[in-house]
Amino acid sequence: MHTFGLIISHMIIDLLSVIAIGTLFIRFSEKKTMFIAQSYCLVLIFKCYLKAYIGMPLSEWMMLLGWSIPSGHTIAYGTVYGLILDPRKQLLQFLVVILLTGSALVYCGYHQPIDILVAAMFLFLILTFLRAIMAFDIFSRLAIACVISYWSMHQGILSNTNVQWFYFKWMIIAYGVEYLFQRIGFYDPNQFKWVQRLRVYSL
């Protein structure tokens, strides 16, 4: 029975990933999609700093080096779904995503409930911040993201800087793609009409 529960828990995590990726793929023609990709990378960079700063080791049975608080999966999934969904109309769906993610991680033994709770607390602050800067122009958002990234990677504490640099590179690429799309008029409904028609199939 426990093995079956582990299989279901991992399937839940995988299913949430597939739904998120599929939704973003369908909505690739929207400006918000690039912002979600940029925010995902930025949040994971900051998450590495948070984990190292709090300094709670992972469970010994996992035999891995790393930190458990806050739950990175909860913050990552919460960020993506928190920006995809409209919290004013889809709060229940968002809470279900967080509950499913947290429950699956705890059941599999990757995290303790406190890890999920702390992640949820930070997630509220993170989403509030991201929604506040969403309307900024691309260069202002890029400047803010670079400052936060630099600060997160140069605090002089034990952190996974290789992972942080990996996501930093992808974040810069996402900003570059957004800038290119703006330059060629990709978001202009009068220029790329075929792209706009695809939005009919958006979730």
What are 150-182's pLDDT values in tens digits? 888 876 555 567 788 889 999 999 999 989 888
CA-closest candidate to residue 39, choices 103, 131, 125? 131
The model's pLDDT over 81-118, given as tens digits with 9 standing for 90+, comes to 889 887 677 878 888 888 888 888 787 777 778 888 88
d(CA 146, CA 164): 12
pTM exceeds 0.85 for this model: no
Give rounded-to-5 percent helix, strand, coil for the chain.
Answer: 75, 0, 25
Listed residue (182, 152, 165) closest to 52, CA to CA = 152
Question: What 3-state DSSP class applies to 89?
Answer: coil
Q: At 13, is the secondary structure helix, strand, or coil?
A: helix
Domain layout of the chain by residue ranges: 2-201
